[in-house]
Amino acid sequence: MNKVIIITAPSGAGKTTIVRRLIQAYPSLAFSVSAATREQRAQEVNGVDYYFLSQGI
């Protein structure tokens, strides 16, 4: 049976660090990239960290 693990916390709480460690320990896990409408930060890569979307219609 497949399972879904959801990691949720405020910005800067260390979610990405936890997810990277889990994927290292359990290579069968996969990361699902979320979408965001906020501005992309300098170190972030579109399609890797988030899919950055505009709010325009």
pLDDT, tens digit only, all 57 positions of the chain? 788 999 999 988 999 899 999 999 999 999 889 898 999 999 999 999 899 998 876
Contact of 45 with 31, CB cutoff 8 Å: no
Containing H/E element for 38? none
CA dihedral for 25, 27, 28, 32, sign (positive or negative):
positive
Tokens 């896990």 sit on residue = 29
DSSP β-bridge partners for residue 34: 50
Q: pTM above 0.85?
A: no
Structure tokens given for 41: 């930060």
Q: State the Cα torsion 38-42-46-52 to the nearest 10°.
A: 10
